[in-house]
Structure 1
Amino acid sequence: MQYLRRLTLNLSVINKQFVRSVGIHSTVVNNKEKTTQLKSWREIPGPSTLPLIGQTLHFLPGGSLYKIDNLGLVDLLYERYGPIVKFEGSFGSPTLIFLFDPEASAHILRSENLMPIRTGFQSLDYFRKEYNKGRRETNEFSGLLTDQGETWKKFRSTVNPIMLQPKTIKLYKNSLNEVAEDMVKRMKLLRNDKNMLEAKFDKEMNLWALESIGVVALGGRINCLDRNLPENSPEKKLIHTIHQIFNVVDKLDFRPSLWRYIPTPGFKKAMKLYEDQVELSKFFIGKAIKQIKSKGKNSTEEKSVLEKLLEINEDVALIMASDMLFAGVDTAANTMTATLYLLAKNPEKQEKLREEIMSQNEKQPYLKACIKESMRMLPVVSGNLRQTTKEYDVLGYRIPKDMLVTFAHQFLSNREDQFPRSKEYIPERWITEKTDPVHHSNAHPFAFSPFGFGVRSCIGRRIAELEIETFLSKVIENFHVEWFGPDLKVKQTTINYIVGPFNFVFKDVK
């Protein structure tokens, strides 16, 4: 663990922008082929380096990559270096290998052992395992975000039956539907005379997301949609804390930082934010446990994730509930915002969706396709990171064990060679006939991976999909959603944030 704590993904621009590049027309070298043609990983192309500072010089004033925007940078890197790029470590951080090729990504992800190592969140890992160790209820688990190996396997095996069973998740449909209806009522009341929510929109989406994840994780309403909710309420404090954590993690874990050696101001701020998140989560979890005890064992109400896990393992239950509140707010809110934006910009698709919703089609294939297409174009996470558990022969190079490899899913899913008419919002590509040129089967299976892959894929996928499907259905049923002005903008920190101004107009459906 000392090694992991000292890992530094020290170039923000590298992790935030290079993770999005992509390669085409490449092959993976089979392990059974002659190895004499293989090159060392040290020969993988990439920007030139200097001792200690690595490739930082390229991003400084006068550097070849200084102030190049995201898309321009991606194109430039692919043109210069191709589908695999190496970034030398500096300031004690490890070397990173970026794969911009779907088949190469598939080769590694499919070949990893039964307990893949997903690194990242080093500061959170330090907080949970070292800084906060004496105050934790258990020292066996720290959570799915930070545990590895047998500890991770035991935790994941405990929560999988509850978190991933579609039939189990659908039991929360009614509760989520109530939240969605209340949120629509709130939106109608908050609109101004131009039918806009103005600067409040992102905050409102976060309140909806927290209320939604709360009914699943904790089994009851958190009270986020109360119009008289004060700014210093635990609900709004938790949302604000989560926002700050993602921004601070970006600066600590993905930029040059000395926090692993000395307690920098940023490190102290992060530890305080993590403490606040833990205490606020405890507040809501404590209230939920009191409600569980008060309703008795003979209650016919559907049990929350917390209640079900409490019957199996109390330590796992408390950590899982806290992580659901932590990870399930900004991700769902930004996905919802992206989907509404794309539907507003494509009114014919929105009308087609509205017709399906009004038809009461229980399967709602077009609704699911609309969300999926949104995740293809504007995913909330740019890529996935793995620490290899074995040696690989990839694209003519030998990648050793314990190397950090980043898989560039976002830009793969936006490539024309993977998804024809990739810049267009076409939900039909997910449900049309395979003979259609835009059908998703034209893409490599690993060109689209918004929830990750395999046993370390997102544990909250089923819940997130149900939340968004339920709310989006209610919004489109009640509003004609429009957008005016400049295109939406995305800011990339630890996740992809959609930033204002939010030029949505919500007109009543008559």
Structure 2
Amino acid sequence: MTLAVALFIGAATFLLYEILKRWRNFQLRDELGLDGPKPNFFFGNFGHFFDVMRTKGIEATPEIYPNLVKRFDKTFGFYFGSYLEIVTTDPEIIKEVFILQFGNFVARKKIAINMVYPMLDGLLQVDHHGTTGVGWKEMRSSITAIFTSGKMRKMHGLFEDKLCSLIDVLKAKCKQSEGCMDIYGEYQAFTMDMIARCALGQNISCIRDRSTECYQRARHFLANITYSKSIVYRLALFFPIFKYLRRFTVFGREERILLGQLSDIVHERNVQRAKGFMPAPPDLIDLMLAENEKRVENQQNPLNHDVIVSNAWAFFIAGYETTSTTLAFATYCLAKHPEVQISLLDEIKSTFSTDEAIDYERVMKMPYLHAIFCETLRLYPPSLTFTGRRCIKKTVIGGRIRVPVGVSVVCPVHAVMWSEEHYERPREFVPERFLSSPSKPSWSPTFLPFGIGPRNCVGARFAEMEFKTVLTEVVRRFEVKLDPEHAELRTVSANVLHGPKDGVLFAKLIEREFDIIQDSG
């Protein structure tokens, strides 16, 4: 009886503590002088997302943050559960948080479901010091060395056979259903092949066979790691202890199998390197292992096995989904704007002859292609809110807003890039806006598809290379038109990603006649 009473008192005390702590957190926004929607005691403002989806449909999700900005101005407070986030689209505050005061905001926003293996100590989520003794700065230094121009040129050499397979498949499908196809699905298969080859050294062929285990498991993983489909994901937002159930979820089971395969690959590469075998060209895992060997030689803390696996996994997932989404969006925009497609084709014809391979140097220097790349990312950014930064040292931003330790500052990138204050006709596809100042997007606080500052996307150069190479070859070989039955594009925001509704994007491809494409020169 005494034990039961003690347990009851302990549970009651803990519950009272949590209630008081939650109540205290809900006072913070007013204390900081911020406006925002009224929070629910249990869910904070998170219920707002579900209210929008219930009343307006899932395709309204990309408009949630832009509409909140209209209601509460450029900077306001938003509660995820009881955790306060400062949401801002103010370029000056963005510059402060991501660049000028970066030392106070080196940590990423905590997403509870990611605060366990394999995300916790990977570059996407790792904190200032990391749980293995290697923090984000050291890890970033090692991984940045992998994405130099020289190494990108070597990786570009791996594109040709996969690109030929993609074109062959598209040619075959042009003869079916009058050329109408889910172009998003084709790009997903291609980027899966490319990421598997460049990141893992695995020569799979999802382009020709969608039944491959890697493709099926990755698709299942991404389809289920959303708050709308996973109870554990939702629970972890409000009660972080549920993050430890990640490995038992539907997406976690797929992830666990793929991670096991990745772990075996890393073990095998270590054995091969010890025997003096070095593949040429090297893939991401080999480059990480080489950088790790340099760390050991310089008497630095090495990246342990799980950290290397975590980073390979993060690159695999992030690079696969976001690049295929951007390619699909760009293809849709070219179909909707044939005059832009013609201008791009003219640039391609003046740069490459009919059967000439697309090389790294020239494709990366095509100005109109670069403008299309930037404008697609501005209008349809594949990641919307992964730019959050968590304060590790109390500070003041915007000259007046006090930011306590642990509070995150989040920038919804699409709300910034869809603002009339920053872009003329922001909801229109106008690549020419980037022709006058092609270098500006890389540092501007109003162009944020890859983030900004020291913790921006480390794989941005790889994504750009892949996008430009693929789009050049597709436009060179095919005229792209709208599919009459799917002429209107609807997008959704799930987790932090922005993609086509229902995971499909249809277009109509017509193979160009060989003699239409004139040799350059």
Whether TM-score is above 0.5 comes out as yes
Matches within 5 A, 1:326-475: 326-360=317-351, 362=362, 363-383=365-385, 384-390=387-393, 391-394=395-398, 396-432=400-436, 445-475=444-474
- Give the Cα separation in 2 of the matches to 1:238 and 1:55: 31
1:143 Cα deviation (Å)? 1.4
Give CA deviations for 1:221-259 in whole Å, capped at 9, x if unaligned: 22323x3x3625334323332333356797655677566
1:466 Cα deviation (Å)? 0.8
- Give the Cα separation in 2 of the matches to 1:292 and 1:102: 47
Q: Does 2:171 correspond to 1:183?
A: no
Name the CA shift for 1:221/1:342 in 2 (closer, same or farther; >3 Å).
same
Q: Secondary structure at the match of 2:225?
A: helix
State the match for 2:359 in structure 1: none
Name the CA shift for 1:245/1:71 in 2 (closer, same or farther; >3 Å).
closer
State the match for 1:86 in structure 2: 77
Per the normalisation by structure 2, the TM-score is 0.75
Find 2:190's aligned residue among 208, 231, 234: 208
The residue type paired with residue 347 of structure 2 is: E
> Contact 1:112 / 1:388 at 8 angstroms: preserved in 2?
no
> Contact 2:348 / 2:476 at 8 angstroms: preserved in 1?
yes
> Contact 2:232 / 2:245 at 8 angstroms: preserved in 1?
no
Q: How many residues align?
A: 448
Q: Secondary structure at the match of 1:455?
A: coil
Find 1:278's aligned residue among 252, 259, 265: 259
> Contact 2:196 / 2:203 at 8 angstroms: preserved in 1?
yes
State the match for 1:118 in structure 2: 108
State the match for 2:7 in structure 1: none
Matches within 5 A, 1:300-319: 301-313=280-292, 315=305, 317-319=308-310
Name the CA shift for 1:121/1:181 in 2 (closer, same or farther; >3 Å).
farther
Percent identity at matched positions?
A: 20
- Give the Cα separation in 2 of the matches to 1:356 and 1:88: 48
What is the Cα-based RMSD across aligned positions, in Å? 3.6
Between stretches 52-61 and 105-114, larger displacement belongs to 52-61
1:178 Cα deviation (Å)? 2.6
Q: Does 2:149 correspond to 1:166?
A: yes
> Contact 1:252 / 1:267 at 8 angstroms: preserved in 2?
no
1:424 Cα deviation (Å)? 2.1
- Give the Cα separation in 2 of the matches to 1:156 and 1:45: 36
- Give the Cα separation in 2 of the matches to 1:40 and 1:155: 38
| Structure 2: gaps spanning 5 or more residues | 1-17, 23-28, 130-134, 293-303, 353-361, 514-521
Name the CA shift for 1:271/1:179 in 2 (closer, same or farther; >3 Å).
closer
1:103 Cα deviation (Å)? 1.5
Q: Does 2:146 correspond to 1:147?
A: no
- Give the Cα separation in 1 of the matches to 2:284 and 2:245: 37
The residue type paired with residue 43 of structure 1 is: G
> Contact 1:44 / 1:86 at 8 angstroms: preserved in 2?
yes
1:386 Cα deviation (Å)? 0.8
The residue type paired with residue 163 of structure 2 is: A
> Contact 2:196 / 2:202 at 8 angstroms: preserved in 1?
yes
> Contact 1:222 / 1:235 at 8 angstroms: preserved in 2?
no
Q: Does 2:244 correspond to 1:244?
A: no
The residue type paired with residue 194 of structure 1 is: S
Per the normalisation by structure 1, the TM-score is 0.77
1:489 Cα deviation (Å)? 1.4
1:357 Cα deviation (Å)? 1.0
1:174 Cα deviation (Å)? 2.2
1:360 Cα deviation (Å)? 1.7
> Contact 2:226 / 2:233 at 8 angstroms: preserved in 1?
no
State the match for 1:217 in structure 2: 199
Name the CA shift for 1:244/1:202 in 2 (closer, same or farther; >3 Å).
farther
- Give the Cα separation in 2 of the matches to 1:285 and 1:394: 46
Q: Secondary structure at the match of 1:43?
A: coil
The residue type paired with residue 47 of structure 1 is: P
The residue type paired with residue 416 of structure 1 is: E
State the match for 1:509 in structure 2: 512
Name the CA shift for 1:244/1:389 in 2 (closer, same or farther; >3 Å).
same
1:265 Cα deviation (Å)? 8.1
1:104 Cα deviation (Å)? 1.6
State the match for 2:4 in structure 1: none
> Contact 2:87 / 2:411 at 8 angstroms: preserved in 1?
yes
1:293 Cα deviation (Å)? 8.4
1:58 Cα deviation (Å)? 5.7
Give CA deviations for 1:374-413 in whole Å, capped at 9, x if unaligned: 0000000113111123311326432223211111221211
- Give the Cα separation in 2 of the matches to 1:224 and 1:74: 36
